[in-house]
Amino acid sequence: MKKTYLLLVLSLCAISATYAQDSARYTDATSFMLIGKGLPTNKPYVRLDTVQTEKFPQAVKYLSTNSAGVAVLFETNSKFIKVKWSVSHTPYHSNMTPIVHSGLDLYGKKDGKWVWAGVGRPVNKLDAESVIVNNMDSSLKQFMLYAPTYNALTALEIGVAPEATIRIPSKPGIDTTTRIVMYGSSIMQGASASRPGMAYPAIIARHTGWDVVNLGFSGAGKMEFAVAEVLATMKASIFVLDCMPNPTLDEIKERGYPFIKHLLTKRPEVPVLLVESAIYESGNFDQRIADVVRKKNALLTEIYTKLKQEGFKQLHYLSAKGLIGEDHEGATDGVHLNDIGFQRQAKKVQSAVQSLVKKSGGSK
Amino acid sequence: MKKTYLLLVLSLCAISATYAQDSARYTDATSFMLIGKGLPTNKPYVRLDTVQTEKFPQAVKYLSTNSAGVAVLFETNSKFIKVKWSVSHTPYHSNMTPIVHSGLDLYGKKDGKWVWAGVGRPVNKLDAESVIVNNMDSSLKQFMLYAPTYNALTALEIGVAPEATIRIPSKPGIDTTTRIVMYGSSIMQGASASRPGMAYPAIIARHTGWDVVNLGFSGAGKMEFAVAEVLATMKASIFVLDCMPNPTLDEIKERGYPFIKHLLTKRPEVPVLLVESAIYESGNFDQRIADVVRKKNALLTEIYTKLKQEGFKQLHYLSAKGLIGEDHEGATDGVHLNDIGFQRQAKKVQSAVQSLVKKSGGSK
């Protein structure tokens, strides 16, 4: 039985292509361009360094090492792209693919758009290597390689044909002078997209061509004041706060107003978009769950109204209505979005963000 | 670090709800109604028994034990539904969630529609238990519980409140007199849906209310004549053949015509729908992959044309055009569909199937 199973796994892998075992020349990915970072850090693929998270709760400190939203931009004319990468642990998440929590996700620029190109498949070990794409034509192309969303990428090398060019892109396809800084929950971090590039901040980055910083902290986007203080130091064209799933009702009451007000007062030139939590699909039959989400959203409305009355014109609000669709199929486990939910939420949030960044005059 | 990680996993799980630890009365699920089965079997949750697969290749024999598409129908007025279940192995698939390969997926009937209700989360062990939904009202409701897609369900018990009713549904919500028998590849089997109910045959079952038999065999839907012989013995309102990803070009040439002709001649009253393979997204940059898929589809067209010329009026054809959309985001790993791709493919195939089953006068 075991042998049969192994054969099946192999044939499942082999379905996509037979890859040539060409030799490759590897370059450390830090030689190229990194996007999706709120602040410069010493370790390249963490979201924040320990010195920046010093005052954060332990969970947020830890999650700041996860590489969600971080991506490497490069250009190459190689016929193939291979990767070798290392992560900090081998998690088991019942609601996630190993590709989204520990794998890599590649997009290439084609006819002016970012088009999906391939994934780096993890193998349930700390170190992995993978042929992401093969048999390409020899034109020089721009690529964007997303890091794992729920793991800490600790090393990454990109391999190309020995004779090929690989370098920092001359036209990166992401305009880092316009930057969306997003703060939120596990959903924003990427649970339960099928691959790193389907987390909704990543979808928005590809569609707008702007730099999007993913500060989703799984279960830990609880609006501590220390987090607002660090957010306020980041270069941003807009702040998007989509963290309602994480704090309790009491935590929202206590922390919501000072957290948001700090951003508004410290950065009067930057629009702030508050996003309600989508009503969980786990509340389709459970009568209590929907009630809690509605109460959280009502508290957010109260805080928004109070701050608007205080005159903060740069504050904006996005309702949960239609955020993940109406067919109840937008989540994997009732809370964490599948790719259907992410595509829908990306569309709604992107539309709001684009109108606000344009109104406010673009990049900061 | 490990402790922190454990805490995070726990908080990730706790996000959806705090479930009461109520005591439950468990009933073996074989007491209720089973759907999604092509033939009666001795073991309840396999797709085919060893006696039926005797002439099949080893891989198809093994995969016939996987429970893809099998579901349990029951009705209850319990405020909660718990499950205990066992599977045959603990696989690691980089492109699948543990929920889709080894978990359970519950839908409830609400306002005449099947609406998602909850999942049974596996725990990387052979035995698991889970509270699928809680805090429901006390009305009698119909439920459909999907088995794992890439594992063999070997035992299943459903737990309800001690005083609650649980029984075979009086109005099951699935009309087993109309039955779609589908034969195909890993994609049909359910890779890479986020949960069992998002495999496209399951989506079609919920939307049509018909019984859909999922005979997708991962990497092994290679059109052996022995498989056609068994298919031809099944009660069917329509046969859907969507296996092009698996056989090689030579295998299609050799096996395609006799396989399809056997079904057509043995079952002249049953429409047969041939479905082209969607062009793999892994061919977006890889110049060879798309070419192979196009050649396979061209061979399928040839066989279709030949059989139509021979006068088989019940034979029909669905092109790959638009099958999984045009935005290149419908797959997890370039081949296996994510929920976006499955929702799109379900819509196209369902539309074709509905017109054919209606034309042919309904159930057989």
Domain residue spans of chain B: 20-167, 175-359
Query: What tokens appear for A30 in the block?
Result: 């830090």
Q: How far apart are alpha carbons A296 and A250 in whole angstroms? A: 9
Instruction: State the Cα–Cα distance between residues B151 and B46, nearest whole angstrom.
Output: 10
Q: How confident is the model at residue A99 (pLDDT cuts 50, 70, 90)?
A: very high
**The pLDDT value given to residue A14:** 39
pLDDT of A358 = 83
Q: Which of residues 328-357 of B touch A (CB under 8 A)?
A: 328-329, 331-335, 338-340, 343
Residue A13 has pLDDT above 80, yes or no: no
Report chain A residues whose CB lies below 8 A from the CB of B195. 332-333
User: In CATH, what is the architecture of B175-359?
Assistant: 3-Layer(aba) Sandwich (3.40)
Structure tokens at A336: 């964490």
* B16/A338 touch (CB, cutoff 8 Å), yes or no: no
- B305 phi and psi angles, rounded to 5 deg: -60, -45
The reported pTM is: 0.94
Q: Is A20 on the interface with B (CB under 8 A)?
A: no
How many Å apart are CA B7 and CA B5, to the nearest integer? 5
Query: What gap in Å lies between CA A36 and CA A45, rounded to an integer?
Result: 10
Are the Cβ atoms of B121 and A94 closer than 8 angstroms? yes
Question: What gap in Å lies between CA A21 and CA A131, rounded to an integer?
Answer: 9
| C-alpha distance from A264 to closest chain B C-alpha (Å) | 29
Task: Write down the residue that tokens 């729920």 correspond to.
Answer: A150
Residue A241 has pLDDT above 70, yes or no: yes
Question: How far does A268 lie from chain B, in Å, by closest CA?
Answer: 33
CA dist A252 and A244 (Å) reads 8
pLDDT at residue A15 tops 50 = no
ipTM score of complex? 0.93
Give how far B89 is from chain A: nearest CA, Å: 9
> What's the token pair of residue A134?
């093969």
Q: Which two tokens stand for residue A106?
A: 């590649």
A51 reaches B (C-beta below 8 A)? no
Q: Which residues of A touch B14 (CB under 8 A)?
A: 219
pLDDT tens for chain B, 364 residues: list them.
Answer: 445 554 444 444 434 333 445 699 999 999 999 999 999 999 999 999 999 999 999 999 999 999 999 999 999 999 999 999 999 999 999 999 999 999 999 999 999 999 999 999 999 999 999 999 999 999 999 999 999 999 999 999 999 999 999 999 999 999 999 999 999 999 999 999 999 999 999 999 999 999 999 999 999 999 999 999 999 999 999 999 999 999 999 999 999 999 999 999 999 999 999 999 999 999 999 999 989 999 999 999 999 999 999 999 999 999 999 999 999 999 999 999 999 999 999 999 999 999 999 877 755 5
User: Looking at residue B358, what is its pLDDT?
Assistant: 83
Q: What is the pLDDT of residues A280-311, one digit of tens each?
A: 999 999 999 989 999 999 999 999 999 999 99
Q: Which CATH number fits domain A21-167: 3.40.50.2000, 2.60.40.1730, 3.40.50.2300, 2.60.120.260?
A: 2.60.120.260
Nearest chain B Cα to A113, which residue?
A: B327
Residue A121 to residue B91, Cβ atoms within 8 A: no
- What is the arithmetic mean of pLDDT over A146-155? 98
- Look up residue B142 and give its amino acid: Q
Q: How far apart are CA B174 and CA B168, in angstroms?
A: 12
Is there a contact between B339 and A340 if contact means CB atoms under 8 Å apart? yes
By DSSP bridging, strand A166-167 and strand B238-242 are: unpaired
pLDDT in tens, A37-96: 999 999 999 999 999 999 999 999 999 999 999 999 999 999 999 999 999 999 999 999
When CB atoms are compared, the residue of A89, A97, A285 closest to B133 is A285
Q: Decide if A316 touches B, using CB distance below 8 A.
A: no
Residue B317, strand partner residues: B274
Evaluate if residue A319 carries a pLDDT over 60: yes
Tell me the sheet residues that pair with B242.
B184
CB contact under 8 A, B63 and A8: yes
In A, which residues are within 8 Å of B8 by CB distance? 59, 62-63, 218-220
Q: Is B218 helix (H, G, I), strand (E, B) or coil?
A: coil
**H/E element holding B300?**
helix B287-309
Which chain B residues contact residue A282 at CB under 8 A? Answer: 16-17, 118, 133
Cis preceding-peptide flag for B64 (omega within 30 of 0): no
Q: For position B359, what pLDDT does the model report?
A: 77
Query: What local confidence, expressed as pLDDT, does residue A360 receive?
Result: 74
pLDDT score recorded for residue A362: 58
CATH of B20-167, one of 1.10.10.60, 2.40.30.30, 2.60.120.260, 3.40.50.1000: 2.60.120.260
Tell me how far the alpha carbon of residue A260 is from its chain's centroid: 21
pLDDT score recorded for residue A359? 77
B310-342 per-residue burial string, b: 16 or more CB within 10 A, e: under 16? eebebbbbbebeebbbeebbbbbbbbbbbbbbb
Report the SS3 class of residue B330: coil
In sequence order, the 6+-apart residues with CB closer than 8 A to the CB of B313 are: none
How close, in Å, is residue B329 to chain A by CA atoms? 7
Over 50: is that where the pLDDT of A120 sits? yes
Show which of residues 132-151 on chain B sit within 8 Å of chain A, judged by CB atoms: 133-137, 141
Residues 6+ apart with CB under 8 A from B362: B178, B237
Query: Rounded to whole angstroms, how far apart are CA atoms B331 and A157?
Result: 25
Mean pLDDT of chain A: 94
